[in-house]
Structure 1
Amino acid sequence: MPDRLDPKRQFLADLFDAAVAAADPRRILQDVLPPPPKGRTVVIGAGKGAAQLAQALEALWPHPCEGAVVTRYGYAAPCRHIRVLEAAHPVPDAAGIEAARVLQSCVADLGPDDQVIALICGGGSSLLPAPPEGLTLEDLQELNSALLASGAPISVMNDIRKQFSTVNGGRLAALAHPAPVLSLIVSDVPGDDPGAVASGPTVPGRPAASAVLAEVTARGLELPPRAMAFLQAAAEQAPAAPPPSRSTTRIIASAALSLDAAAQRARARGVNAWVLSDAIEGEAQEVALVHAALARQAQHSGFPHPAPLVLLSGGETTVTLRHKGRGGRNSAFALSLALALEGQAGITALAADTDGIDGSEDNAGAFVDGASAAAMRAAGVDPRRLLQGNDAYAAFDAVDDLFHTGPTGTNVNDFRAILLGELPDG
């Protein structure tokens, strides 16, 4: 991203900042922490913003506490009493295996007077790999790679992941029994199902293996052979009774709240705002085409609001990987949008991931306008070929339109803003 942005792109970046600020760890924790228990306070957590949540909790909690959280490499934040571990995302590694063991040990041997506070946010599924007996880390790595390339919705992927974990689906909370577990969750999933965030390590419940197998079959998903054999064997067994736990969950940040904050920031600048949805799913390229159609229609008709108008949306799109390129789902969305809006004047857009990292690259997303595709060709790259080759990063890198923020310390998933018209003076 250039050091200086033109006013329209700076406006969109400011809306992104407002969305991220609405999910700031200290802000969202300050009114939701429980009273101190008679016994110990044990803090556990997982996700790309888990370290920042732990750091904020320590600043707000005027009582002794202990525990551990795991985050992605490079996302750590210093804590005084809570141990911060790092592991791989989106494909798990051995450090994640060890992190899962550490968190399990943190909640072992607790009593009813102790309190567990679980800080859960997106990314936790790969950061807490805990393969069941008969499977290995390599099996989970193959499974995660297959799921990430499948284009399946995050809810489906996490239902599958729960079958291959001794932690997810509430099992971590069950290990803490009889201590109560309060899960404070930053939702990055459409619909804000707490059990879907990070595959729900502290949220009781998982679908039956037979139901998951039926879903895999119906969608034509190709799981690695060992994983498929394990799922088929599990589906033939009678479902086990859920283990006891004293678990309470609370969503403390979400795409809906962040999009509302962005809309308020826009209106304060004299720009109308239209929140399309906070729960959009689907193939990123196809979702972009729908957004382009809505933007053109709103620009032409002035409905539901006249320009200047910003269209806002969130959720989690997916990308079916057919080639080995660079770029996450927001860059793919932006490149598809650039092609769909080519030659269209008066439209500028930003698509970015609120955690600051789009997929596994170093950018949060990218900027787009009606001249983007032509500028890419002038720079010597073919935007359509790069989109088909899953290489959206290269297209935006060629025209210096990547959006870099670095890790934000939170994660409420996709943020999309499409500005129609000119900004008011001032």
Structure 2
Amino acid sequence: MRVSPAERRAFLTSLFDAAVDAAHPAKVIAANLPLRPKGRTVVVGAGKGSAQMARALESHWDGPLSGVVVTRYGFGVGCDRIEIIEASHPVPDDAGLVASERLFGAVSGLSSDDLVIAVISGGGSALLPAPPEGMSLADEIAVNKALLASGAPISAMNAVRKHLSTIKGGRLAAAAYPARVVSLIVSDIPGDDPALVASGPTVPDETTRYDALRSVERYRLSLPPSAISHLRSEAAVAPRPDDPRFAGNEVRIIASAAVSLEAAAAEARRRGIEAFVLSDAIEGEAREVARTHAALALQMAERNVGHRKPAVLLSGGETTVSLRGNGKGGRNCEFLLSLAIDIQGRSDIWSLAADTDGIDGSEENAGAFADGSTVARLAARSLDARALLDANDSWSAFHEIADLFSPGPTGTNVNDFRAILVE
């Protein structure tokens, strides 16, 4: 396989596009809509893909409809009957606080004849700040920042978030009772536990405030005194899954990383490239996950291990970044910079890692490209790849050599997408 760098990147991009397309609300919403109720139909939702979900739902719904959905700034789309609110992600703001109040207002006063359709995708936790009594929005922002910097897995983060909120952990669905709630969820969670997506505003789970306190201790979270005080009080107790208010509700995972990775694999094979899906649920430190991926790619490149080449290794899930420096860059760029260090000098390994929602971290890129020349090209600009990695400054690294990948908002969110081409 002798092709140009541009052709290799175009191939990797086509796999990303196939993964995103398989999870797009326009393709998956229609087959998952519930039957019309006798009474009203109200739509609520939150997440980076929730506006696209709302528009797809609206276009396929035969009957009266109203509702409120919150998404990230710049991710909104036009709807005729559902109001779209934009708020801040990953750090909550006042607009998110207003959105939470509006969602509660939308589900208040409903009857057992009414139906609530919740469109939920990843990112909803930050978009729905709703601090309990005794905590302020500033306190919730401090909690969120501490969690993002901790390196804790998403399950631990959400155990803390749901017990420091009046809307997460099933509380929005409880407020809609006695109306029936059907949750349509685009999962960005390894393992696809619906209660973890956006910290489960309409889906309760089994975790307790004691689990949240153990997470605080284990990951050495520095939280505001008001947050610790709340976790130690009975006020933090969240509704349980066996609460009778949830008895008639339904939860449907309508898109996930597993389906998207299989779509990418099918696209690779259509183009004559063998594909192997390693896992759709990989977690851990981004730089360490990268080292494992690099080892697999190097083994495939250097040995005949029963796999036909060229081939592409695919994986998904959600890695974490423990902040050590003050640089810029999300987990996908951190993954790639670590990978680039281990494959430096190779001319036969090429990679793309990106978040399927179109944003990696706090910048405007979804991820980046890396290959065996990445470290050398940084060095030619007097930049040390390892020093940049140590400073968590992967965005600056790939920005400097024009290797950022920026497709813009995609309308969905099934978390990280990683593709490594081995020639």
TM-score bracket relative to the smaller structure: over 0.9
Shift of 1:5: 6.5
Structure 2 distance, partners of 1:239, 1:46, is 20
SS of 1:210's equivalent in the other structure is helix
Work out whether residues 162 and 206 of structure 1, in 8 Å CA contact, stay in contact via their aligned partners in 2. Answer: no
Number of residue pairs aligned between Structure 1 and Structure 2: 417
Aligned residues with identical type, % of pairs: 58
> Does residue 301 of structure 2 align to residue 299 of structure 1?
yes
TM-score, normalisation: structure 2: 0.96
CA spacing shift, 1:38–1:312, aligned 2, 3 Å: same
Structure 1 distance, partners of 2:394, 2:225, is 31
Structure 1 distance, partners of 2:184, 2:317, is 20
1:244 corresponding residue in structure 2 = 245
1:191 corresponding residue in structure 2 = 191
Cα distance per residue 1:285-307 (max 9 Å; x no partner): 11100000011112223335221
Structure 2 distance, partners of 1:266, 1:202, is 37
- Paired letter, 1:244: R
Work out whether residues 202 and 247 of structure 1, in 8 Å CA contact, stay in contact via their aligned partners in 2. Answer: no
> Does residue 276 of structure 2 align to residue 268 of structure 1?
no
Work out whether residues 71 and 85 of structure 1, in 8 Å CA contact, stay in contact via their aligned partners in 2. Answer: yes
Cα distance per residue 1:4-27 (max 9 Å; x no partner): 961111100000000000011110
What is the 5 A alignment of 1:150-169?
Answer: 150-169=150-169
Work out whether residues 325 and 389 of structure 1, in 8 Å CA contact, stay in contact via their aligned partners in 2. Answer: yes
1:360 corresponding residue in structure 2 = 362
1:424 corresponding residue in structure 2 = none
Structure 1 distance, partners of 2:360, 2:419, is 16
1:33 corresponding residue in structure 2 = 33
TM-score, normalisation: structure 1: 0.95
Structure 1 distance, partners of 2:394, 2:319, is 15
Structure 1 distance, partners of 2:15, 2:315, is 12
Pick from 328, 331, 339 the counterpart of residue 329 of structure 1: 331
2:392 corresponding residue in structure 1 = 390
SS of 1:194's equivalent in the other structure is coil
2:59 corresponding residue in structure 1 = 59
Structure 2 distance, partners of 1:263, 1:304, is 18
Cα distance per residue 1:133-160 (max 9 Å; x no partner): 1111010000000000001011110111
Shift of 1:380: 2.6
Cα distance per residue 1:48-81 (max 9 Å; x no partner): 0111110111111121100010000111000000
SS of 1:155's equivalent in the other structure is helix
What is the 5 A alignment of 1:210-249?
Answer: 210-234=210-234, 242=243, 244-245=245-246, 246-249=248-251
Shift of 1:207: 1.4
- Paired letter, 1:163: H
Work out whether residues 203 and 247 of structure 1, in 8 Å CA contact, stay in contact via their aligned partners in 2. Answer: no
1:256 corresponding residue in structure 2 = 258
1:68 corresponding residue in structure 2 = 68
Shift of 1:211: 2.3
Structure 2, unaligned runs of 5 or more: none
SS of 1:195's equivalent in the other structure is coil
SS of 1:90's equivalent in the other structure is coil
Work out whether residues 209 and 237 of structure 2, in 8 Å CA contact, stay in contact via their aligned partners in 1. Answer: no
Work out whether residues 48 and 121 of structure 2, in 8 Å CA contact, stay in contact via their aligned partners in 1. Answer: yes
Shift of 1:217: 1.8
Work out whether residues 163 and 238 of structure 2, in 8 Å CA contact, stay in contact via their aligned partners in 1. Answer: no
Work out whether residues 204 and 247 of structure 1, in 8 Å CA contact, stay in contact via their aligned partners in 2. Answer: no
- Paired letter, 1:296: L
Shift of 1:130: 0.7
What is the aligned-residue RMSD (CA, Å)? 1.6
2:171 corresponding residue in structure 1 = 171
CA spacing shift, 1:234–1:322, aligned 2, 3 Å: farther
Structure 1, unaligned runs of 5 or more: 422-426
Structure 1 distance, partners of 2:57, 2:238, is 37
SS of 1:13's equivalent in the other structure is helix
- Paired letter, 1:55: R
Structure 2 distance, partners of 1:369, 1:240, is 48
Shift of 1:322: 1.9
